[in-house]
């Protein structure tokens, strides 16, 4: 057991040292997304180190615990809501991948009504789901801009605030990567991007030339990298309050996350607690039932002139993703 513990600690150190090397390949980029689960053995290792008087065992355990704290320690610190001035503008945003095969709009609508957000960004929105939600939620959300599709790229926004303008959507390889809307929130402009990126995989040969036209980069870049580069190019041209939400198909251990947080703040990291895992939501994946989520794929990012005071993950809605709700203020 002592030898296994030492090898485990050395393996964690090797991961920390080689993580950026792994990012250079699409399969390595996928692998680092499961980093939190590398620490599951600590559930047994920490009690064992307390009970067994072995300095090698305790040393290996300490190394593993330190690795965990470096990567994830701040996520479990107590959260004190920031002071928000009485005259501040407050609004809540929900991002929800409703799942392309979800045939129960009532559960989706019930989840939205239960949380009562001011702005709802939907991904994988099919026409039947869009029509049902539009009818059911018309009184709560008088402003709607829905762009459903039969495939995975449908999206839409429901809002209590006027939608003043829709910018041209960001397209890559002929599919929609994000909607870009301008909302009037209590008299102030808010740019909203509703995003759905591909998983980090090599782009098909027939799409690479199209993708590289909007986001040039090395041939080793995945389709997600190229989409993200194009998205960041659009965001970088804007000033003022900005919210970028959706299913990014990346985790906070991915290089794309570092790219996003170089300009924006992660609302859940700022105001939530714990890992905030959102996928999968009590679903079968390749025939295997997963009773709890393994990854955090869904995010609300915001510009520094906004502040997140609360953030939480919801469970119901009939989707393979859990939704995320964030309270923001300015």
pLDDT at 214: 47
Enumerate the β-bridge partners of residue 158.
120, 144
In terms of DSSP bridges, do strands 242-247 and 265-266 run parallel, antiparallel, or are they unpaired? unpaired
pLDDT digits (tens, 9 = 90+) for 59-70: 888 988 988 998
Same-domain check for residues 65 and 198: no
Same-domain check for residues 65 and 124: no
pLDDT digits (tens, 9 = 90+) for 191-220: 999 999 998 777 666 555 544 554 444 445
In a domain, 83, yes or no: no
What φ, ψ does residue 302 adopt, rounded to 5°? -145, 160
Same-domain check for residues 256 and 288: yes
Q: What is the pTM of this model?
A: 0.88
Same-domain check for residues 163 and 277: yes
Q: Helix (H, G, I), strand (E, B), or coil: what is residue 147? A: strand
Residue-range definition of the domain harbouring residue 28: 2-76
What φ, ψ does residue 267 adopt, rounded to 5°? -65, -35
Residue 1 above 90 pLDDT?
no
Same-domain check for residues 148 and 170: yes
In a domain, 276, yes or no: yes
Binned at pLDDT 50, 70 and 90, residue 26 comes out as low
**Contact yes or no for 294/277 (Cβ under 8 A):** yes
In terms of DSSP bridges, do strands 188-196 and 242-247 run parallel, antiparallel, or are they unpaired? parallel
Number of domains within the chain: 2
pLDDT at 132: 97
Q: Residue 185: in which H helix or E strand, if any?
A: strand 175-185
- Residue 177: DSSP 8-state: E
In a domain, 84, yes or no: no
Lowest-pLDDT choice from 77-81, 143-147, 236-240, 308-312: 77-81
Same-domain check for residues 69 and 101: no
Same-domain check for residues 64 and 188: no
pLDDT digits (tens, 9 = 90+) for 153-166: 899 999 999 999 88
* The domain boundary residue, chosen from 18, 41, 76: 76
């Amino acid at each position: 057991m002592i030898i296994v513990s030492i090898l485990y600690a050395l393996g964690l150190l090797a991961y920390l040292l080689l993580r950026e090397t792994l990012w250079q390949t699409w399969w390595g980029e996928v692998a680092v997304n499961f980093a939190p689960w590398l620490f599951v053995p600590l559930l047994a290792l920490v009690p064992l180190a307390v009970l067994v008087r072995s300095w090698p065992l305790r040393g290996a355990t300490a190394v593993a615990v330190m690795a965990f704290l470096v990567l994830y320690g701040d996520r479990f610190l107590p959260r004190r809501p920031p002071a928000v001035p009485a005259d501040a503008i407050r609004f809540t945003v929900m991002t929800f991948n409703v799942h392309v095969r979800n045939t129960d709009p009532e559960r989706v609508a019930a989840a939205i009504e239960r949380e009562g957000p001011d702005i709802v960004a939907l991904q994988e929105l099919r026409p039947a789901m869009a029509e049902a939600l539009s009818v059911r939620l018309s009184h709560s959300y008088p402003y709607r801009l829905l762009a459903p599709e039969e495939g995975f790229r449908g999206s839409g926004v429901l809002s209590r605030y006027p939608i003043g303008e829709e910018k041209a959507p960001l397209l890559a390889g002929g599919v929609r990567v994000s909607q870009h809307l301008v909302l009037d929130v209590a008299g102030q402009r808010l740019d909203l991007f509703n995003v759905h990126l591909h998983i980090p995989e090599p782009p098909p040969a027939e799409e690479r030339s199209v993708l590289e036209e909007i986001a040039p980069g090395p041939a080793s870049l995945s389709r997600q990298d190229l989409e993200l580069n194009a998205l960041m190019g659009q965001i970088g041209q804007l000033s003022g309050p900005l919210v970028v939400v959706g299913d990014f198909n990346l985790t906070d251990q991915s290089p794309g996350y570092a790219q996003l947080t170089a300009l924006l703040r992660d609302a859940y990291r700022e105001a939530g607690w714990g890992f905030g895992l959102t996928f999968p939501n009590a679903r079968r994946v390749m025939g295997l039932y997963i009773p709890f989520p393994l990854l955090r794929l869904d995010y609300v990012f915001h510009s520094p002139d906004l502040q997140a005071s609360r953030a939480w993950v919801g469970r119901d809605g009939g989707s393979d993703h859990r939704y995320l709700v964030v309270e923001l203020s300015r």
